[in-house]
Amino acid sequence: MCADYQTSILMLRRALNRVQDNWKSYRHRFVPWVVLNLSKNEKTLRQVTDRSKDKLVPDQEVSESLLQLFSVLLRSHRADHGELRGAQSHLLRKETTKQHQCEEEAMLRSLGFCIARKPSTLPFAGTGVFVTKGCVSKGATVAMYPGTVYQAYEPILLQSIRNPFVFRCIDGVLIDGNGKGISKVVFKSCSGRDRMGPFLMSDTSWLTSSPQNPLAVGQYVNNCSNEYPANVCYQEFDVPDKFPIKLRQYLPNVNYSTDSQRPLRCVVLVSLRDITAGEELFSNYYTIVR
């Protein structure tokens, strides 16, 4: 009896330790936790006086950066597909490696830097995003937050359960950046629904370990802390109607509903200062002050 009791206590302690470790990782992206703890950690907060004042750089600059990268990616992928059209299944690994190198080169050539997912330097934070090559200039578009876009009135309850990747915009629009479970199914379904003939309107490859758009890793950027101040911030960006159809295949966002009359909402991360190779990206949240 005594041995069984000790075994039960040990198992309970292990379970509690697992829950505690999971929470320490989860909290770095959990919006309610961030909101409740902003007063304790003011360095994580960026204040703006109005919804229109949240932008560090004009939308035009964000759009130009995306167009520049997407254009280079399109040319690179077309060239790659021509070379690899006859490849057999046993060459799939080589093809994936070459595709990754192609996207890395396209990013370095068009934006002047590369980013990648790696284990975070923050304790218990899990995955983070690092600058691996080049240098990021202040005001540059560094990453994108992928996922399904929900208007404030659209249902997201089931998708939000145990989901640390739901991002809330200033106007209540939500972006579900979870690449697993029901969130993954919803995104792929909506992406397939919106296809226009041969043209894809969104990119589903961010759901894999090798996204075609190398910027589509913003959901893994951790919140800053007093020890690790923010070097990037979130900025909302509505895709203009004139955005070329052939380049929309690299947008890692899709509207949940076809009834939405609003432009596709994207969220990008913009650099607050120059960032050199080897640095991890840390973001902050903004709040409206009256």
Q: Could you tell me which residue, 46 or 116, shows the higher pLDDT?
A: 116
The most confident of the ranges 31-35, 79-83, 279-283 is 279-283
pLDDT score at 27: 47
Tell me whether strands 113-119 and 127-136 are parallel, antiparallel or unpaired: antiparallel
pLDDT score at 239: 97
pLDDT score at 98: 63
Q: Could you tell me which residue, 160 or 41, shows the higher pLDDT?
A: 160
**Other Cβ atoms closer than 10 A to 134:** 17
Q: Could you tell me which residue, 231 or 2, shows the higher pLDDT?
A: 231
SS (H, E, C) the chain: CHHHHHHHHHHHHHHHHHHHHHHHHHCCCCHHHHHHHHHHCHHHEEEECCHHHCCCCCHHHHHHHHHHHHHHHHHHHHHHHHHHCCCCHHHHHHHHHHHHHHHHHHHHHHHCEEEEEEECCCCCCCEEEEEEEEEECCCCEEEEECEEEECCCCCCHHHHCCCCCEEECCCCCEEECCCCHHHHHHHHHHHHHCCECCECCCCCHHHCCCCCCCCCCHHHCEECCCCCCCCEEEEEEECCCCCCHHHHHHCCEEECCCCCCCCCEEEEEEECCCEECCCECEEEEEEECC
**pLDDT-above-90 percentage for the chain:** 57
pLDDT score at 160: 85
| AA identity, residue 226 | N
Domain 57-289 has CATH 2.70.98.10: no
Q: Which of 19-33, 104-118, 160-174, 199-213 has the weakest average pLDDT? A: 19-33
pLDDT score at 18: 61
Q: Which of 13-22, 78-87, 117-126 has the weakest average pLDDT? A: 78-87
pLDDT score at 1: 52
pLDDT score at 123: 86
Residues in the chain: 290
**Other Cβ atoms closer than 10 A to 225:** 16
**pLDDT-above-70 percentage for the chain:** 72
Grade residue 135 by pLDDT with cuts at 50, 70 and 90. Answer: very high
Q: Could you tell me which residue, 288 or 68, shows the higher pLDDT?
A: 68
Q: What is the mean pLDDT of the chain?
A: 82
* pTM, 2 dp: 0.78
Domain boundaries along the sequence of the chain = 57-289
pLDDT score at 258: 84
CA distance 63 to 20: 41
Q: Could you tell me which residue, 125 or 2, shows the higher pLDDT?
A: 125
